[in-house]
Amino acid sequence: MSVKRILVTGGAGFIGSHLCKKLLKQGHEVVCLDNYFTGSKANVVGLLSYPGFEIVRQDTTYPMHFEVDEIYNLACPASPVHYQHNPIKTIKTSVLGAINVLDLACYLGAKVLHASTSEVYGDPCIHPQTEDYWGNVNPIGSRSCYDEGKRCAETVFFDTYRQSGLDIKVIRIFNTYGPNMHPNDGRVVSNFIVQALRGEDITIYGDGKQTRSFCYVDDLIDAMVTMMNTEQGFIGPVNLGNSAEFTILELAEKVLSLSCSRSKLVFRPLPQDDPKQRRPDITLAKLKLGWEPLVDLEEGLKYTIDYFRRILA
């Protein structure tokens, strides 16, 4: 295997840090770019022992100048509490960030993978969601900065492909969890685990009957690297996630059981535009990548609970 020099934007984030580690273990050189808005230096400082690893503090809304062979574009706040904190900044990161990444990739002739999201489907009218579904998205809601920003970023990637023939890859990430999640990111898995470990009430929005699928981060990273290494011409988009479906109430009960917590469940109103169902159809990933998740929810939750026990201590 030839050694590549690879840029990972958002490399100090939850998913980005795992990706950096995977690529380094494969023997590649990695440039981790992050502005630390939601990423953390603590996620990647342990990787400095690899001679081919470097960290650059920069925002993707500014032009980038690197000499690399491949680019993984992960930079963007991905949880509602973070992307709604500064919605204009979120849109800029999605759209201007995509443009700047593509400008660099076109200049270098580098292959580039864009991490899109299941949020492009909005509150879906079909279930499970397939890649040819155009979505049901509110363009002016409180989640729109992220949903529409990511949709526009996909447009920029596909138009660049059609215009220049750049080797692009587009994936749509469904709910992912695991170590290195931010304890205050507002995502349902981290929320429930942190509340359970602290003995606080577990907050369920709505009646808890809405469903999600949960993919352990190691499974997702394997799929991302496999997608990057597919032949030129297969560009996606490809759904990446776990097709096993659980209600939010089932997730809360699993967290309570595995953490041995005595926390109580409390119910709050459902936020605007919160999807009632979210589960990927991963037929295309199975066919083109030979991939499907291996870690079930209970096993993945055990690893994640152990991680939060350490950092909360």
For residue 53, list its beta bridge partners.
30
Tell me how far apart the alpha carbons of residues 311 and 46 are, in angstroms, rounded to a whole number. Answer: 15
Pairing outcome for strands 265-268 and 202-205 = parallel
Question: Please, what is the end-to-end C-alpha distance for the chain in angstroms?
Answer: 41
* DSSP helix/strand/coil, 299: helix
Tell me how far apart the alpha carbons of residues 243 and 174 are, in angstroms, rounded to a whole number. Answer: 10
Tell me how far apart the alpha carbons of residues 197 and 200 are, in angstroms, rounded to a whole number. Answer: 8
Q: Which two tokens stand for residue 271?
A: 């936020």
Tell me how far apart the alpha carbons of residues 297 and 183 are, in angstroms, rounded to a whole number. Answer: 19
Tell me how far apart the alpha carbons of residues 155 and 151 are, in angstroms, rounded to a whole number. Answer: 6
Name the active-site residue from 72, 83, 121, 146. Answer: 146
> What ranges in 198-296 are assigned the alpha helix state H?
217-228, 248-259, 283-289
CB burial of 53-90 (b: ≥16 within 10 Å; e: otherwise) equals bebeeebbbeebeeebbbbbbbbbbbbbebbbeeeebb
Tell me how far apart the alpha carbons of residues 83 and 76 are, in angstroms, rounded to a whole number. Answer: 8
Q: Which two tokens stand for residue 131?
A: 């890649």
Pairing outcome for strands 70-73 and 5-9 = parallel
Which single residue is written with the structure tokens 């595995």? 258
Tell me how far apart the alpha carbons of residues 107 and 226 are, in angstroms, rounded to a whole number. Answer: 24
146 has catalytic annotation: yes
Active site residues: 146
